[in-house]
Structure 1
Amino acid sequence: MRLREALLTGILCLSSPASSTPAKHSWTIGQTVYTQGGPVSGHAASSAKNVSTYLGIPYAKPPIGNLRFAPPEGYYNHTPIDGSKFGHSCPQANVFGGSTPPNTKGKNLTAAGLTALADLNYGYADSSEDCLTLNVWTKPQFGEKGKAVLIWVYGGGYTIGSSSDPIYDGQYIADQEDVVLVTFNYRLNIFGFPGAPGYHKNLGILDQRLAIEWVRDNIRAFGGDPKRISLFGQSAGGGSIDMYSFAYADDPIAAGLVLESGTTAIGTFTAETTAESWYTVTSTLGCGDNITVPATQMA
């Protein structure tokens, strides 16, 4: 189901009373907004000119180096952020088959390993591990009441997807309804759900939680009400929200949850299955297996 088509269901969850935010005398399209990561400059949306668009806002440190295969860490800075373009898409696996091995040389890389690396460039030319960013669409705020907030979680089988996909453009909902719309990237496939025995699990879900915490802590600056946040998502996005509802039952942050065609009932993998997949990848890439090298060292 496309983002716009999910609007009615999401709005029904946002009927609780609005809280107040400090009064602001004037709001302009694309005005600079101050966040925990620094001031973000926006711009008018391409079609809905009354909507302010803020793209590519980092909510976590780049998950590279020691943060690869590790829980995300919040991004805090004072450097100005140019919100004029989307951040990088997270590396994707080519689930549809067919790829060309990249020009990568390494004494341990097998031919199959090169093909696997090529697959991770599938779908988005701008893919990078430095991909944990989010996007905000909002109309100028008038009065003191904060707007309800909708956070979209994209689907794709936990393997593909990006908040920069044109069908997830939030300007139309923000223009038609009195809401702030947020989308974000989270790590996918082996980067988000590595399954390494004895190592961190479900990193993509942890990315989602950190993005939601960022919204809670910063959305007032965009005219949103942190007490009226609803999550909605399709396919793996719906499944993610379902898992989120169990993982964070004591502190959900969100006041509403909308699952569209995806739940945990669709199925998850056992620890044994994910471990087998992990060792298949490490062996294919020439990094060893469960007999020669410990999983934590390979990570």
Structure 2
Amino acid sequence: MHAPYGPGDAAYTCHRTAQAWELARLAKRASDCGHLVVVVGDMNSVPGSLTHRLFNLVARLSDSWQDCHGEFKGEIGLLSPEDQIIQAGTTCDSQLNTWRAQRRIDEACRLDYIFYDSSFARVSDARVSFIDPIPGIGSVSDHFAAETDLIVNEQAVRKPPVDSDDLRLLYTDILDLIDDYKHTSIMQAKLRNYHFIASVIVLIGLLIAVFWGAAHNRAWVGFLFMLAAIVVAVTGLLDGLMGFLFGRCEMRGLREFESEVELARHVLE
């Protein structure tokens, strides 16, 4: 899922939650049809996050690591890198990974998951693998692998009903996240549009300056103005495209996401 690139709006939490919402509903439909559903991958989300809760409460899938080892509730930074893997199942930003050896010890986290439908299978073991580096090369990836052994049930086991209060709280948290990001999306689109408009004005001025330089036999001045005009035109055009086109598409997507969650919450009431 969408990776975070920094704090605040650069964390892309809303985008990642929207992806998890779609995937969780697809998994729920497949499970309702009687299929053994397994969702695996780098979710770029820690346990207890909105993404994790969506798979638990909406998709009704279980976290194989937590089912096997329980939920880690301690301070990750107090553990050695080896114990972080054994006790917390950390797969990312471990100091044992050659790609992440310079990370702080408290940055290690579990971002890779194997979710499964506990109605049709049960976990016999879950572990972190591909830990040992390749001689002369280093770690296989910047993430370790998550691995689990599932035993298929002979008969489907009925799952306990989900707590409606937990679902309602989840939907409320998602709607709050969407509402917060709406303001960010609108502001970013406006700034990009203003940049585009300002670029058009500046570009006209630079082109006039080019003719002025040529009229006064100052070719080097005209060259500098032309170079600046190219930079202004390219950056302004790109921001304009993102502001006018992507900004509107993103807002429509946010409103659709919001309406789906509001409808789901309304069904509970």
The verdict on a shared fold, with TM-score over 0.5 as the criterion, is: no
Higher relative strand content = 1
Larger of the two Rg values belongs to structure: 2
TM-score range, shorter chain: under 0.3
Taking structure 1 as the reference length, what is the TM-score of the superposition? Answer: 0.20
Taking structure 2 as the reference length, what is the TM-score of the superposition? Answer: 0.22
